[in-house]
Amino acid sequence: MSSSSDSFSSQTLNIGIVGFGTFGQFLAKTMIQQGHTISATSRTDYSQLCHQLGISFFRDVAAFVEADNDVILLSTSILSLSKMLKSIPFRCLKRRTLFVDVLSVKEHPRDVLLQVLPEEMDLLCTHPMFGPESGKSGWEDLVLMYDKVRVRDEATCSSFLRIFERQGCRMMQMSCEEHDRLAARSQFLTHAIGRILSETGIESTSINTKSFETLVKLKESTTNDSFDLFSGLFIHNRFAKQELMNLEHAFQMVKKKLLQTANEEQIPNKSNHQMDSC
């Protein structure tokens, strides 16, 4: 193990990724660049892609679990986490392993994982607050939220966090509860507004203002993410329902104010008109 001058220690890790979809692949690329050894398993067969990337792909979950992983990184959809965990034969784990999840909600995976993981397994809950689009030119200044839920092997945990620190991420340690409270206000609201804009069918025009371009980009970036992700943000974040109600209430308030102002405008006009015609 080599030490570093930054906050986290650095050690080359064997990282097994469960769920090799968009986000799993995105993370794997940087991890490989940093010299970590990656393996993966997923519902879909990614053998060919993994072969190109120099990753061992396991169709058989038991063989994946038996491989010598320092870290098992869970990158499945929020909605499929519980079902996917049922397919993992934890008894096949040979030694203490650090389980890390990257789900965009945090209390849900923490609770489910604490229920199913053998007591000797460590658990780090994380949320990289960026994705393939926002992180395509690098991860500098992007936030990595993490909560060391049950960590005894500090060296492995530290080496995992170092991956993000090395890329220049802002490292934010906070509880899963605090994350979900804040993310309902920020991330869920962003996705909800993006989805609403998409329902309105907005498209770029020849006379876009900068603000309108921001809206079009928001619609595009949120609808590029899967609907599973969006619904997971709602179903498995207990603070999201209130935010949705706040949004609906705010919409009604704005509508009410507009209609009220329009009515007030009409009254003098009408009376002027009536005066003219007298």
What residue ranges in the chain does DSSP mark as E strands?
14-18, 37-41, 56-57, 71-74, 98-101, 122-128, 143-150, 170-173
Residue from the set 15, 24, 58, 191 that interacts with ligand NAP by CB under 6 A: 24
Does residue 22 bind ligand NAP (CB under 6 A)? yes
What is the rounded CA–CA span in Å between residue 89 and residue 74?
A: 15
3-state class of 102 per DSSP? coil
Of 124, 222, 136, the residue nearest 174 (C-alpha): 124
Q: From CA 72, how far away is CA 85, in angstroms rounded?
A: 12
Q: Please state, in angstroms and as integers, the Cα–Cα distance from residue 248 to each residue in 33, 165, 243, following that order.
A: 45, 39, 9
Where is 108: in which H helix or E strand? helix 107-116
194 binds ligand NAP (CB under 6 A): no
Our CB check for ligand NAP shows the closer of 10 and 100 to be: 100
Nearer to ligand NAP, 27 or 93 (CB): 27
- According to the binding rule CB under 6 A, does residue 160 interact with ligand NAP? no
16 forms part of the interface with ligand NAP (CB under 6 A): no
Helix axes 210-224, 189-200, angle to 10 degrees: 100
Chain center to CA of 236: 12
Contact status: 39 vs ligand NAP (CB under 6 A): no
- 10 or 107: whose CB is closer to ligand NAP? 107
Residue nearest to ligand NAP as judged by C-beta position: 131
Min separation Cβ 112 and ligand NAP, Å: 12
One of 50, 88, 100, 102 touching ligand NAP (CB under 6 A)? 102
Phi–psi pair at 262, nearest 5 degrees: -65, -40
Using a 10 angstrom Cβ sphere, with 0-12 exposed, 13-18 middle and 19 or more buried, the burial of residue 170 is middle
What are 243's strand-pairing partners? none
Decide if residue 158 touches ligand NAP (CB under 6 A). no
Residue 229 near ligand NAP by CB under 6 A: yes
Least spacing, CB of residue 136 vs ligand NAP, in Å:
11
Among 40, 225, 237, 240, binds ligand NAP (CB under 6 A): 225
Distances (CA, A) of 187 to 109, 181, 227, 229: 17, 10, 14, 11
Site for ligand NAP in 63-82 (CB under 6 A): 75-78, 80
Closest distance of CB 266 from ligand NAP, Å = 47
Question: Among 19-27, 32-40, 50-58, 149-157, which window interacts with ligand NAP (CB under 6 A)?
Answer: 19-27
| Residue 104 engages ligand NAP in binding (rule: CB under 6 A) | yes
- What is the pattern of x (binds ligand NAP, CB under 6 A) and - over residues 113-132? ---------------x--x-
- Does 226 contact ligand NAP by CB under 6 A? yes
Residue 21 makes contact with ligand NAP by CB under 6 A: yes
Binding positions for ligand NAP, rule: CB under 6 A: 19-24, 42-44, 75-78, 80, 83-84, 102-104, 128, 131, 225-226, 228-229
